[in-house]
């Protein structure tokens, strides 16, 4: 059993609470200033019983949240996206405080299996230069960041695996795309939990790899697995560390 503090009690927080309890874990505190009856502040007192925190909040507050969790000496699973330009700052916070932190743009185990498939595909298409590559993602209208953390990770995988590509473009293009660029496009609307596609296209055919989430349960399940993985550990971890632990 892991004693978990939930930071953020929106749709994801509620699903994580239910799934964590189903797996026999304890939710010892819920912190959300907009939730009646929840804790309002992240500090040593509110986190005193927690072993691992899980944060699904907002890009505008996540760095401050990590600092407060670190000051309390607690480990944290970071599911909040949109902060990756501060990665070096977060690594330093983790190192200086001696806590454990695991992050991902997407904690869905299926999505991370999808990442492995994309890595293998990129290796194949690296040697097939008559194919171009592109990606797109669709999310619900309330998503706070664009592109999604998952789409950013897909772009990174493709650039790393295909030598003729060295730049990901996420903004709207009103020009011809350059040969070295990969366009990762985002669409927002409706209630779509998350759909990500990668296309390898030639004059002869198109090969499409696609992952479609049916709901938030996959993200929640992976987040709880991440809390189990992180409990008792120190250091900075990514989703690959969790996947290696699962697949071994």
Active site residues: 139, 143
Q: Are 223 and 77 in contact (CB under 8 A)?
A: yes
The number of beta carbons lying within 10 Å of the beta carbon of residue 232 is 11
Bridge partner list, 27: 4
How distant, in Å, are the alpha carbons of 167, 194, 210 from that of 108? 26, 11, 14
Q: How far is CA 56 from the centre of its chain?
A: 10
Look-up of token digits 């900075």: 236
Q: How far is CA 120 from the centre of its chain?
A: 20
């Amino acid at each position: 059993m892991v004693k978990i503090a939930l930071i953020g009690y929106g749709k994801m927080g509620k699903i994580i609470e239910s799934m964590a309890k189903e797996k026999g874990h304890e939710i010892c505190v819920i912190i959300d200033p907009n939730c009646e009856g929840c804790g309002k502040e992240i500090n040593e007192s509110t986190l005193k019983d927690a072993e691992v925190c899980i944060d699904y909040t907002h890009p505008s507050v996540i760095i401050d949240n990590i600092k407060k969790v670190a000051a309390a000496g607690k480990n944290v699973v970071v599911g909040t996206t949109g902060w990756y330009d501060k990665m070096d700052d977060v690594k330093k916070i983790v190192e200086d405080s001696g806590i454990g932190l695991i992050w991902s743009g997407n904690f869905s185990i299926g999505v991370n299996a999808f990442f492995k498939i994309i890595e293998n595909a990129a290796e194949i298409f690296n040697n097939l230069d008559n194919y171009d590559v592109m990606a797109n993602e669709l999310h619900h209208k309330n998503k706070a960041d664009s592109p999604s953390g998952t789409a950013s990770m897909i772009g990174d995988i493709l650039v790393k695996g295909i030598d003729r590509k060295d730049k990901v473009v996420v903004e709207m293009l009103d020009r011809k795309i350059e040969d070295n660029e990969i366009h990762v496009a985002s669409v927002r609307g409706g209630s779509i939990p998350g759909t990500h596609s990668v296309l390898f296209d030639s004059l002869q055919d198109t090969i499409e790899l696609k992952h479609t989430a049916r709901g938030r349960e996959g993200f929640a399940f992976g987040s709880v697995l991440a809390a189990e993985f992180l409990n008792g550990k120190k250091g900075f971890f990514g989703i690959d560390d969790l996947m290696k632990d699962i697949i071994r």
